[in-house]
Structure 1
Amino acid sequence: MTETLRVGIVGAGGIAQAVHIPNYQKCGDKVNIVAIADVDLERAKDVAKRYDIPHAYATVDEMLGAQELDAVSICTPNKFHAASAIAALQAGCHVLCEKPPAMTVAEAEAMASAAEKANKYLSYGFHYRHTQDVEALKRFIDAGELGDIYAATAIAMRRRGIPGWGVFTNKELQGGGPLIDIGVHMLDTALYLMGYPEPDSVFGATYQKLGTKPGVGLLGAWDYENFTVEDMARGFIRFKNGATLVLEAAFAANVEQRDEMNVKLMGDLGGANVFPLTIYQEKHGSLVDVKPAYLPDKPAYELEVERFVDACLGGAAPISTPEQGVKLQRIINGLYASAESGEAVKL
């Protein structure tokens, strides 16, 4: 491995431009973004010019064939995660893939297998793990402060937050709506803090009540005539250790808050709300709330990319693993299957 990580970007859309490229560039001499690939070659060339990236290609295969890369960021719609990640891994690159892992469990398993065969890192873009609230709570959990965490709630609710850009409302390209897009963030955060227990069964329901009608859009006007995903999903997950998790995710719902992203945990020695962090305990005959007086404010996306780079250069391994990606994908797809059948699904 060279001292400078040679990076390629797959997908020249919003997440590449807002997160991956600028945060790689913040790593200074540790990183050289060599190339970018996008099916829209003109967009790839435009982004390459804007961010001073030397090479632009129309496909990931062209980029991997032309350039000697050490790592690749996958920033495409969900449908193309698996193929792009597997191609990069087989070319000998570490991979940072945006969430969710893939469209299907089989794809997530194939990605994990490719990473194992290549002996390369495959990490997923679950940036909430890198927030200071989560990191602080993880230290409390690891120290036993919450005890046995047996119940959790994961919430990713927007009042009218259907994205008015991109392909977020296209089921063919994304696999679903808020469950697989924003719900997956809070689900992963909860699972991470719970120690990623093995799921046993799921029961899910999805709704399409608001997205197919015109309305007020707090994230821009959406194409309601071609809205093919759910606008809300709800789910119940039971784990093999007896713990349970309730999940709510919505792009649009008639709720009070404009945007709520949170995880709530309950253990036999304490509980917690993660955002902002508050820990609930009984100590010395009193019920107490513990809140941090100070937490560092380094952005989670910046930490995510910085730590991936350091891992690729020989530092600590990424905290997101391919095995966790498979487990998460199994839950997501199980919830969609349950919603379609109206029955609980055994995983």
Structure 2
Amino acid sequence: MTEPLRVGIVGAGGIAQGVHIPNYLKCGSRVEIVALADIQLDRAKEVAATHHIPYVFASVEEMLDKVSLDAVSVCTPNKFHVSATLAALEAGCHVLCEKPPALCWQEAELMADAAQRAGKILTYGLHYRHFPEVETLKKFIDAGDLGEIYASRAIAVRRRGIPGWGVFTNKELQGGGPLIDIGVHMLDTALYLMGYPLPDTVFAATYQKIGNRQGVGMMGDWDWKQFSVEDMARGMIRFQNGSTLILETAFAANVEKRETMQVSLMGDKAGADVFPLKIYEERHDTLLDTTPAFLPKKGGHELEIERFVDACLGGAKPISTPEQGVALQKLLDALYRSAELGKPVEC
């Protein structure tokens, strides 16, 4: 495939406008954003005019039929990830789909199978993997500096961070609340650093205590009368290798900090936190805390798009794979199922 990479974008909402379009544009002459599709055609036309995108369509199917594309970014609500991704793959396009992969693991598996049949790239918008803190810690882990990682913790908690825009509080369109929206980022980051171990048993609980009543919104006012997702989820995963992960995520909770996004790992040689990165170890009868003096400044979103473009043009394969997307979705499903049943479930 030769430059420029011809890209189409499905969905003209916040993630397309704030992440995908500007970061494709940063790729310069290597990328041409050819088309934008959204069922809200007027909004799509406005966004396209702002960014000089030549073609606008009301559906992904029409876009794929009318213009020649090499790659597609899927920036729709979660419910439509599977249909847009399958259509793009079947049309011979590489796909970068926003997280989570889908609404259930069966959909994620359909997407993975379609990518394999088409011989095309399918990767997901799990941009925290691309943060310099994560990349640096991964090098330490791969070198064996942490030893056996047997315990981890993933936290994605906001004090009053229920999104006041979009469909984030609509279970039918999103599949859930903070667990599937922000918790998925820290869960995936922890799994990635741990080497994506195979899960054994999951135990979880979800709560709806704040989102379904009127209150202070630090991310805008939300429609509390139509709030149909959890506002907090907590869980524990035991893996087949004996390691464990504790997960806590919330759109709204009575805590001090406005937002905490954190992954902690504990190995038998050393431990670490990311965001910010700090490594804890024992050497020469001394307990040491190590922090980097310098890390690259490129953001995770920018690197995610840049590397997707590189992969489409024949470079290194994406670090987020369709198979990991299925595994991640299975864990999300298991966490929600355990919470619904009120008991542990096997994976």
- 1:135-146 matches, cutoff 5 A: 135-146=135-146
Q: Counterparts in 2 of 1:229-248, with a 5 A limit?
A: 229-248=229-248
Question: 1:87-102 maps to which residues of 2 (within 5 A)?
Answer: 87-102=87-102
5 Å-filtered alignment, 1:88-127, equals: 88-127=88-127
Q: Please list the CA deviations of residues 63-111 of structure 1 after superposition, one character each: whole Å capped at 9, or x if unmatched.
A: 0001111000000000000110011011111000000000011000000
Alpha-carbon distance in structure 2 between the residues aligned to 1:309 and 1:14:
21
The corresponding residue for 1:162 is 162
Structure 1 residue aligned with 2:281: 281
Q: Secondary structure at the match of 2:254?
A: coil
Paired residue secondary structure (1:324):
helix
Provide the residue aligned with 1:208 in structure 2. Answer: 208
Which 5+ residue runs of structure 2 have no aligned equivalent? none
2:3 matched residue in structure 1: 3
Q: Partners of 2:258 and 2:25 in 1: how far apart?
A: 33
Instruction: Report 1:183-222 matches (<5 A).
Output: 183-222=183-222
- Are positions 1:147 and 2:147 aligned together? yes
Please give the alpha-carbon distance, in whole angstroms, between the structure 2 residues aligned to 1:242 and 1:89: 37
Name the structure 2 match of 1:300.
Answer: 300
Give the structure 2 partner of residue 317 of structure 1: 317
Equivalent position amino acid for 1:34 in 2? V
CA distance in 2 between counterparts of 1:21 and 1:289 reads 39
Distance 1:240 1:299 in 2: 34
Name the CA distance, whole Å, in 2 between partners of 1:276 and 1:221.
30
C-alpha deviation, 1:2, in angstroms: 2.3
- TM-score computed with the length of structure 1 as normaliser: 0.99
CA distance in 1, matches of 2:269, 2:154: 20
CA offset at residue 127 of structure 1?
Answer: 0.6
One-letter amino acid of the structure 1 residue matched with residue 188 of structure 2: D
In the aligned structure 2, how far is the partner of 1:226 from the partner of 1:204?
A: 24
Distance in 1 between residues matched to 2:150 and 2:115, nearest whole Å: 32
Q: Structure 1 CA distance, aligned partners of 2:203 and 2:299?
A: 35
- State the one-letter code of the partner of 1:260: T
Matched AA of 2:12: A
Of the structure 1 ranges 41-50 and 245-254, higher mean CA displacement relative to structure 2 is found in 41-50
Give the residue type in structure 1 aligned to 2:153.
Answer: T
Q: Deviations over 1:153-204 (max 9, x none)?
A: 0000000000000000000000000000000000000000000111111111
d(CA) in 2 for partners of 1:241 and 1:73?
36
Which one-letter code corresponds to 1:282 in the other structure?
E
The one-letter amino acid of 1:144's match is G
Which residue of structure 2 lines up, in the alignment, with residue 21 of structure 1? 21
TM-score (norm 2): 0.99
**Matches of 1:277 and 1:104, distance apart in 2:** 32
Q: In 2, Cα distance between the equivalents of 1:345 and 1:165?
A: 34
Counterpart residue identity of residue 81, structure 2: H
Aligned to 1:330: 330
Name the % identity: 69
CA-based RMSD: 0.6
Residue 38 of structure 1 corresponds to 38
* 2-structure distance, mates of 1:55, 1:199: 44
d(CA) in 2 for partners of 1:177, 1:300: 23
Amino acid aligned to 1:290: T
Structure 2 partner of 1:179? 179
Q: How does 1:45-56 map to 2 (within 5 A)?
A: 45-56=45-56
Residue in 2 aligned with 1:253?
Answer: 253
Partners of 1:46 and 1:120 lie apart in 2 by 31
Question: What letter corresponds to residue 255 of structure 1 in structure 2?
Answer: V
1:32 counterpart SS class: strand
Match of 1:263 in 2: 263
CA distance in 1, matches of 2:219, 2:306: 29
Paired residue total: 347
**Matched residues in 2 for 1:48 and 1:38: separation?**
11
The one-letter amino acid of 2:33's match is I
- Counterpart CA distance in 2 for 1:15 and 1:156 is 19
Structure 2: how far apart are the matches of 1:39 and 1:196?
A: 36
Provide the rounded CA distance (Å) in 1 between the counterparts of 2:118 and 2:239. 31
AA in 2 matched with 1:72: V
